[in-house]
Structure 1
Amino acid sequence: MSLKLVKTLWGVLEAGDTAKWDALFARIKAEGFEAVEAITLTWRMDSQLFLSLLRKHGLSLVCQIHTTGGSINEETGEYEYCTSNKLNDHVVSFVSLATEAAALKPVLINSHSGHDSWGSGDKAVDFLEKALETEAILGIPIVHETHRQRLFFSPYSAAELLANKKLEKLKINADLSHWCCVCEHLFDHTDPRDDFWLGTLQAVAAHCGFVHCRVGHAEGPQVPEPDAPEWAKEVDTHFEWWRFIWSAMCKRGDSVIWSEPEFGPPPYLQTLPYTQAP
């Protein structure tokens, strides 16, 4: 088993300037990363240059896609992350974005999939069945992130979906920091209120194909400073969860485990009022 680290390009200023990619990828490789994770806006800037420079520096690619998102709104200039709650819109978007991403030959595709309003009902299952069909056609592993506003936003609906026999081949990206924020709680299987948690974590591990390693807390998806002693409990708890998942992936025979240390920019990163300084 080999644990390989992925560097997110989220919040990396040089990622928005093609002239800086060469030096950026050289630095990322020197820091010990084996791959980068990029959204559509990044690779669309110049996909041929992007891929050639990744090859030059020995870096693999993880493509991140956002169903019904992925572009800049021409009127507002803002990034469009999720623009619909309609099933068909998300299915069409997923197939298109996944097909585009697969052409880049990534090691995997990380999808922010569907809409949280679907819960674990028929819409969610229908979408994920179509996603599995698309994954089989494309031949690239696709994971679905446990992200807010998306299908796997909550541990409760996620557990129901992962228990569905129709979805036994489904793979997820475990970013458990989101669940701490959604449920306003740091889960602990020894707490009687959390008697569901061990079973949920086992289901996550059984379906996990990627891990986003960010530390969340009861009031947000990212602690302000992971090294600060006041966040030691959150850090230790998240590491316990990650080790549990990694161990399960190792036991089932995964030869490579992709994991991504993540600490996001504003508004995930706290800033001062008025100045917006970190």
Structure 2
Amino acid sequence: MKPTNLQFFCPRWGSEGTGWETFFARLKAEGYNGMEWGVALDTPHAELDKIWDLAEQKRVAVILQHYDTVDADFNRHYDTYCRWLSMVKGYPAVKINSQTGRDIFTFDQNKALIEAATQFTVDTDIAVVHETHRHKFSFAAHIAKEFLQRIPHLRLTLDVSHWVCVAESYLEDQKETVALAIERADHLHARVGYPEGPQIPDPRVPEWDIALRHHLVWWDAVVARHRAQNKPLTVTPEFGPYPYMVELPFTRQPLTSQWEINAWMMRMLGERYR
């Protein structure tokens, strides 16, 4: 039995080679509520319409993910980001997970991008949550702290694995910032990082139990807050394919199955919070 306030989303990332009909059937059989789908800016509207119609037909809820605005020139970056938001405006997503801004932009430049997303939410009533992610405005806990303090309406996709990697620690000396992020988290990416990387090879094995337990403490707090507020929480188990997933030398064979790890993570969290 799944916890009633948790909704689990399967990442399309890593399954791009699987046909949509097969992918939807597989995630439904696994027990996911929907998918998280990274949509590139150059995706044709006809393709968006076709996949969206199929998702609705199959009763697969959709979280859209923004990821591919990377221009180092702020003005071009801002225009591209706004074009992406405009492109997806007509699609009733559960929410939008946005990898927003750049680590090289100023506070005010990144804030302008966040406010563009805020206006999108005002116009559409679809929440935009900003992922804590390397290379983006939120690449490190000590940097994201200022944004959280100065932008009270900023909401997050909490993916602590990135912060663990950047800080090369389990953030023991940044507890205040992590607590603030937990208060603002409306979506979880359930991937486990470690001080030397954003993804452990396999959360099911005892060698990585310490890393998993650190992340469970943070996830427990997010779940507890949503339960106390009687709010649903969306979770995407987001262990990724190569190069996140380590491969065996010369063979290009992954150490383990990305699909199986994510499905295991969903079942483990479902049981933990049931």
Distance 2:158 2:183 in 1: 11
In the alignment, which residue of structure 2 is the partner of 1:79?
none
In the alignment, which residue of structure 2 is the partner of 1:85?
72
Candidates 216, 224, 239, aligned match of 1:263: 239
Cα shift readout 1:184-230 (whole Å, capped 9, x = no counterpart): 11223xxxxx1x31x21221122112110000001110001111111
How many residues are treated as equivalent by the alignment?
A: 249
In the alignment, which residue of structure 1 is the partner of 2:167?
183
| Higher RCO structure, 1 or 2 (CA under 8 Å, sep 6+) | 2
1:56 aligns with 2:42: no
Q: Return 5+ residue gaps in structure 1 as ranges.
A: 69-81, 189-193
1:65 aligns with 2:41: no
Distance 1:101 1:212 in 2: 22
Candidates 7, 10, 17, aligned match of 2:13: 10
Distance 2:226 2:137 in 1: 23
Q: TM-score, normalization: structure 2? A: 0.85
Distance 1:46 1:243 in 2: 38
Kindly report which structure 2 residues correspond to 1:39-54, keeping only aligned pairs within 5 A, or say none.
39-41=38-40, 44=44, 46-54=47-55
Q: Return 5+ residue gaps in structure 2 as ranges.
A: 255-274
In the alignment, which residue of structure 2 is the partner of 1:74?
none
Structure 1 residue matching 2:142: 3-state secondary structure? helix
Letter paired with 1:10: W
Structure 1 residue matching 2:88: 3-state secondary structure? helix
In the alignment, which residue of structure 2 is the partner of 1:21?
20
Candidates 118, 139, 164, aligned match of 1:153: 139
Cα shift readout 1:24-46 (whole Å, capped 9, x = no counterpart): 20121121111101122496472
Structure 2 residue matching 1:102: 3-state secondary structure? coil
CA displacement at 1:246 relative to structure 2: 1.5
Structure 2 residue matching 1:105: 3-state secondary structure? coil
Candidates 102, 116, 121, aligned match of 1:115: 102
In the alignment, which residue of structure 2 is the partner of 1:275?
251
CA contact (8 A) 1:184 1:217 kept: yes
Percent identity among equivalent residues? Answer: 30
Kindly report which structure 2 residues correspond to 1:97-136, keeping only aligned pairs within 5 A, or say none.
97-118=84-105, 121-136=107-122
Kindly report which structure 2 residues correspond to 1:193-208, keeping only aligned pairs within 5 A, or say none.
194=173, 196-197=174-175, 199-208=176-185
Q: TM-score, normalization: structure 1? A: 0.84
Distance 2:75 2:16 in 1: 34
Distance 1:217 1:173 in 2: 18
Candidates 172, 178, 187, aligned match of 1:210: 187
**Root-mean-square deviation (CA), in Å?**
1.9
CA contact (8 A) 1:63 1:110 kept: yes
CA displacement at 1:67 relative to structure 2: 5.1
1:237 aligns with 2:240: no
